[in-house]
Structure 1
Amino acid sequence: MDLPVVSAIKDRYERLPRQMKVAARWLVDHPTEVALLSMREQARRARVPPTTLTRLAKRLGFDGFDNLRVVFANGVRKLPQNYTGCEEESIARGEAEGDGATVSDTVEAFHSYLSDLAQPSTIAALAAAADLMVEARQIFCIGLRSSFPAANLMHCLGSLIDLPMALIDGVGGTRNDALLSASRQDVLLVVSVRPYSRYTMQIAEFAATRDAKLVALTDSELSPIAKVSEIVIRVRTEMPSVFHTMTPAFAAVECLLQLIAARRGSSALQALAANEADLAALYQQ
């Protein structure tokens, strides 16, 4: 959400005490909930005392949390309706109403999160990333655990249209080797969501020392990787279940690749056709 108060939170984030950082991140990552829920319920979901939200609001120049919430409410009125469910409530509803409610809640969350990718700020971030990648000498991709499939998808589909892709996947203990040649002509796409990997940050920081441009596909504009990246593409991951989702990350990668293919024009189509012909010949029975 593009609000002056959100920019103020981001600017002051590193100087906030630990619990206030937790509260600040809740505000930035859940603008609809900030506008709609009571302070006590938000404190419960953010896992901080209600007084922390009050202190944060005053630190931002408001008389109290209610005044801050009004600012978010005015901003949210201009946005499409977002999913605002809570895991405990959804699980309870599933137990009471059956499997249909569980599936419905999950699909509703997907619909909301995928719609977020069509917001102007996200489109601008995707377009900026595409511009960097179409000019890059090398595009490195990294993602660990649940983030790996999205990084691998970028590598796989990018290779099909003849992009200079390199996947940092750690096979044979050679995880770092590909980055030894990184330079300012290169781009590193980092897929990183909670719980964040310290190793992923080490890779990103190393790439930054080589002046490579960092593109973060992450779940928060205040995540560790976002703070060191040139471009941040935010994807929602929280779900009305015990698991988080990577579906929006996959969709973001596919949108990014579509933009890159459009920029490359006929050369992308020719590369794709050549790759498909080679694969058909390889696997022909």
Structure 2
Amino acid sequence: MAPRTLEELKRRLQKLNAPGSDLKLGKRALAALTRMMDNPEVVAVTSISALASEAGVNASTLSRLVRKLGFENFAEFQLVFRKHLARTSKTSFYSDLAGQLVDTEQDEDQRPPPSLALMTQVAEEETANIAQMLKSLDLQALEQTVELLASAPRVRVYGLRQAYTMANLLAYAMGLLRSDVSLLGNPHHGVAHGLTELTEQDVLVVIGASPYTRGTVAAARIAANHGMKVVAITDSHGSPLAAEASVTFVAPTSSTWYSNSMAAFLVFIEGLMAMLAGRLGRRGLASLKRHEQLIDEVNHEL
């Protein structure tokens, strides 16, 4: 079982260093782990490629290392450090990430413009996140989710802050294919009012990544407690959203930029909706054609 806190991870490291340890790590991997344990605030906000470079190892070495420690992927390992940082300091998630991109020793007018190298690095990290998301997909759970989304009387989608963009996209795309899909809760009525509209036959999709919002976690917990099906799209199986969900899909978020990467979330949502369109067949096609007809009517009126 993977360590859930930084303290548990430290105890695991102590056992690794003890004579006769049954878990063998190479010297370079062990040195990289020790270095990361000594700098939790850096690990919490730094991409796997940058950490590997600083430690003098390949990113694949860190990936193998975290799997040996019991984590499914690097995002789940990094979540331990992010949770520790959230507990021990004021909110600095975004500024800490942005700090990697800013040379504070230079004046604003002396800093060089962003280079193609940085753009390439971000693109490669996003590509790696998408590949990791695909590798971790549970196909049976994916097919079950498509069936749920096709057959549930009502589907609601919920995400806040950056995840709101993904939630809005998913609700819009699904609403093109079937009826009674929307974001959870009218802004003027609140989330509780939105949950009262749902029954045990309905589905709530929650989207979020570290640092998690209390509102999203609470909505998932309440929905699960009332017997509703909860589908989580999040950054780790250790996410508090995953703890409340019937089904969880993981989209890694590690990136050089100053917030969570959403590329893997976007690709997952597009793929999920493509599968749903295929599952709904003529029903979905009829819904799309009706939508197109209404667009033409609105454009004609304007």
Q: Could you tell me the TM-score, scaled by structure 1's length?
A: 0.71
| Superposed displacement of residue 40, structure 1 | 2.5
Is 1:148 the equivalent of 2:164? Answer: yes
* 1:20-169 superposed matches below 5 A: 20=8, 38-44=32-38, 46-47=40-41, 72=67, 91=101, 99-119=115-135, 121-169=137-185
- SS of 1:269's partner is helix
- SS of 1:166's partner is strand
Count residues with an aligned counterpart.
Answer: 239
Unmatched tracts of structure 2, length 5 or more: 13-27, 44-60, 74-96, 104-110
Alpha-carbon RMSD across the aligned residues, in angstroms, is: 3.8
- SS of 1:272's partner is helix
- SS of 1:40's partner is helix
Is 1:271 the equivalent of 2:259? Answer: no
Unmatched tracts of structure 1, length 5 or more: 1-7, 25-33, 50-65, 80-86
Q: Could you tell me the TM-score, scaled by structure 2's length?
A: 0.67
- Structure 1's 127 and 44: CA in aligned 2 closer, same or farther, altered over 3 A? farther
CA distance in 2, matches of 1:23, 1:246: 33
Partner of residue 51, structure 2: none
CA distance in 2, matches of 1:251, 1:210: 30
| Superposed displacement of residue 221, structure 1 | 0.7
The percent identity for this pair of structures is 22
CA distance in 2, matches of 1:71, 1:143: 29
Tell whether the 8 Å contact from 2:98 to 2:258 is kept in structure 1 after alignment: no
CA distance in 2, matches of 1:131, 1:36: 45
| Superposed displacement of residue 125, structure 1 | 3.7
Tell whether the 8 Å contact from 2:185 to 2:194 is kept in structure 1 after alignment: no
Is 1:213 the equivalent of 2:208? Answer: no
Tell whether the 8 Å contact from 2:231 to 2:246 is kept in structure 1 after alignment: yes
- SS of 1:38's partner is helix
Is 1:236 the equivalent of 2:231? Answer: no
